[in-house]
A = this chain, B = another copy of it.
Amino acid sequence: MKAGRILLLLLCLNVVTFGVIADLPTCPASDLGSGCGDSDEWEGEFFPGIPKIKYEGPSTKNPLAFKWYNADEEILGKKMKDWMRFSVAFWHTFRGTGGDPFGAPTKNWPWEDGTNSVAMAKRRMRANFEFINKLGVDRWCFHDRDIAPDGETLEESNKNLDEVVALAKDLQGTKIRPLWGTAQLFLHPRYMHGGATSPEVGVYAYAAAQVKKAIEVTHYLGGENYVFWGGREGYQSLLNTDMGRELDHLARFLEAAVAYKKKIGYNGTLLIEPKPQEPTKHQYDWDAATSANFLRKYGLIGEFKLNIECNHATLSGHSCYHELETARLNGLLGNVDANTGDPQTGWDTDQFLTDIAEATLVMHSVVKNGGIAPGGFNFDAKLRRESTDVEDLFIAHIGGMDTLARGLRNVAKLVEDGSLPDLVRKRYKSFDTEVGALIEAGKADFEYLEKKAIEWGEPTVPSAKQELAEMLFQSVL
């Protein structure tokens, strides 16, 4: 077998799906020559038919306008854009191919030239910023390998990354910055057994080097957060896994990340993104509580917050609201990956959120938290495989933004009306007493409580009024 064929094999094996993302093959300089160098030569707009998206209010029939999101309108004391801090996910929007486990890519964006060259990466980055500007958001999120192609070596990969990042820095201007950056430690076969939890020390080191660079780059771009999603940090089978040793390695890895961040003076928040499973059978950051336990066990609790994704929440058996509240009550609510799953499917569908009630609950957590800055709402959501028009990219984002904006407006109604918060507060009023205060202060021992129980006799227990609470909630939707 000749060298040429091997090269092509390597190139094309690189053509794979990440979520909907396929890394197209690096443009092979020597083989395909002239067809590659000019990838960046794109003239005019990427989205020529799409205007800057404007707020037109609920009655508009224009699918390319906002019905509910009015960036500068003030709600509950803050501008909508400051509550939301929306972000476009580079990978879904610009590297999503529409591939699925049974299907080939379906997206044929006009600006793609079929290569994974640095030149193509730069063209794509320019499309990204045109998209962001037309959509009217200020933030974006990325994996290192989404935005720049893998090289033959780590150094070459870093060089590719630097080149694209320099352009991104330029395109960002003064207003736009990353909500967060991250390293892609799951697509490449070297990470098939994990990155920080790989049984191979060489992979651990490689992952460390990659995260080091990704933190540097995020820092350079002014990224406000840095995310760890451990898609391969888990197991497929406990039969061949030393879970204890792997968890220890993961802790060492995160400690080193914290140390490095501090060393280079990066002040962004480190975020762990829980997901129960998929691609592995079990991921160590299963849900918010599991991640919190890990952070506490290894003394990392003050150094990380959580990035809660709604679809990951439901895959772990929880409502999104539950996961947000769990994060909030553990002091860990750092960011929201704004998407939704299908209630009848057992995998991550990463759909744009369209459920108004769900959006209202999500915003309720965020409002109770006083906002989530420096975190925000990242659209970790993708077009359906069968949505193949360029305008679908806009329609989907507008729908997602409007849904959350509608949720925020509903929360404002909830707060202003006050009936539902009141109902909750009153349920616990028996603890707003002397005995309640003693209990809450940890000063009521069992002997004292037994005495009170005997003194009081059989307690009266009122209705929980769940149906009324549901009625009050629905009335603001």
* A347 x B344 contact (CB < 8 A): no
Q: Which residue on B lies nearest to A430, using beta carbons?
A: B201
- The reply to whether the CB of A159 lies closer than 8 angstroms to some CB of chain B is no
Q: Which residues of B contact A249 (CB under 8 A)?
A: 431, 439-440
Q: Out of B100, B241, B317, B354, name the residue touching A317 (CB < 8 Å).
A: B317
In the assembly, what is the distance between CA of A77 and CA of B61, in Å?
25
In the assembly, what is the distance between CA of A187 and CA of B101, in Å?
9
Q: Out of B13, B100, B212, B439, name the residue touching A101 (CB < 8 Å).
A: B100
Q: Which residues of B contact A31 (CB under 8 A)?
A: 32
* A427 x B242 contact (CB < 8 A): yes
Binds B, one of A124-132, A164-172, A460-468: A460-468
In the assembly, what is the distance between CA of A348 and CA of B155, in Å?
38
Q: Which residue on B lies nearest to A383, using beta carbons?
A: B467
With both chains docked as a complex, state the minimum distance between the C-beta of A416 and any C-beta of chain B, in angstroms.
Answer: 13
Within 8 A of B (CB), among A125-158: 153-155
Interface residues on A, range: 35 or more
* A454 x B322 contact (CB < 8 A): no
- The reply to whether the CB of A374 lies closer than 8 angstroms to some CB of chain B is no
Can you tell how many copies of this chain the complex includes? 4
Q: Which residues of B contact A395 (CB under 8 A)?
A: 467-468, 471
Known: A10-B114, A252-B439, A459-B200. A205 touches B293 (CB 8 A): no
Known: A18-B103, A325-B238. A292 touches B282 (CB 8 A): no
With both chains docked as a complex, state the minimum distance between the C-beta of A62 and any C-beta of chain B, in angstroms.
Answer: 11
Within 8 A of B (CB), among A389-429: 389, 392, 395-396, 398-399, 402-403, 419-420, 423-425, 427-428
* B104 x A14 contact (CB < 8 A): yes
* B276 x A317 contact (CB < 8 A): yes
With both chains docked as a complex, state the minimum distance between the C-beta of A340 and any C-beta of chain B, in angstroms.
Answer: 10
Q: Which residues of B contact A435 (CB under 8 A)?
A: 201, 205
Q: Which residue on B lies nearest to A24, using beta carbons?
A: B12
Binds B, one of A44-52, A174-182, A189-197: A189-197
- The reply to whether the CB of A79 lies closer than 8 angstroms to some CB of chain B is no
* A244 x B202 contact (CB < 8 A): no
In the assembly, what is the distance between CA of A257 and CA of B7, in Å?
43
- The reply to whether the CB of A56 lies closer than 8 angstroms to some CB of chain B is no
* B453 x A154 contact (CB < 8 A): yes
Q: Which residues of B contact A317 (CB under 8 A)?
A: 276-277, 316-317, 344
Q: Which residues of B contact A389 (CB under 8 A)?
A: 462-463, 465
Known: A16-B103, A106-B192, A431-B199. A344 touches B318 (CB 8 A): yes
* B208 x A453 contact (CB < 8 A): yes
Within 8 A of B (CB), among A43-78: 58, 61, 63, 67
Q: Which residues of B contact A5 (CB under 8 A)?
A: 35-36, 39, 113-115
* A256 x B467 contact (CB < 8 A): no
Q: Which residues of B contact A39 (CB under 8 A)?
A: 5
Q: Out of B202, B356, B467, name the residue touching A399 (CB < 8 Å).
A: B467
Q: Which residues of B contact A436 (CB under 8 A)?
A: 201
With both chains docked as a complex, state the minimum distance between the C-beta of A407 and any C-beta of chain B, in angstroms.
Answer: 12
* A209 x B453 contact (CB < 8 A): yes
Known: A206-B453, A347-B278, A433-B201. A465 touches B8 (CB 8 A): no
Known: A189-B98, A356-B477, A428-B245. A257 touches B446 (CB 8 A): yes
Q: Which residues of B contact A354 (CB under 8 A)?
A: 470-471, 473-474
Q: Which residues of B contact A108 (CB under 8 A)?
A: 9, 13
The 4 tightest CB contacts between A and B, nearest first, are A346-B346, A9-B114, A202-B459, A16-B104
Extra inter-chain contacts (18) besides given A19-B101, A388-B463, CB under 8 Å: A1-B113, A13-B22, A15-B15, A17-B102, A18-B103, A19-B102, A23-B104, A63-B468, A98-B189, A102-B231, A189-B461, A200-B460, A200-B462, A205-B444, A208-B450, A212-B449, A389-B463, A402-B474
20 contacts between A and B (CB under 8 A): A2-B35, A13-B105, A13-B108, A18-B103, A61-B419, A102-B232, A192-B386, A192-B461, A199-B427, A203-B461, A209-B450, A238-B361, A239-B469, A240-B423, A279-B385, A282-B322, A317-B317, A318-B344, A386-B466, A388-B464
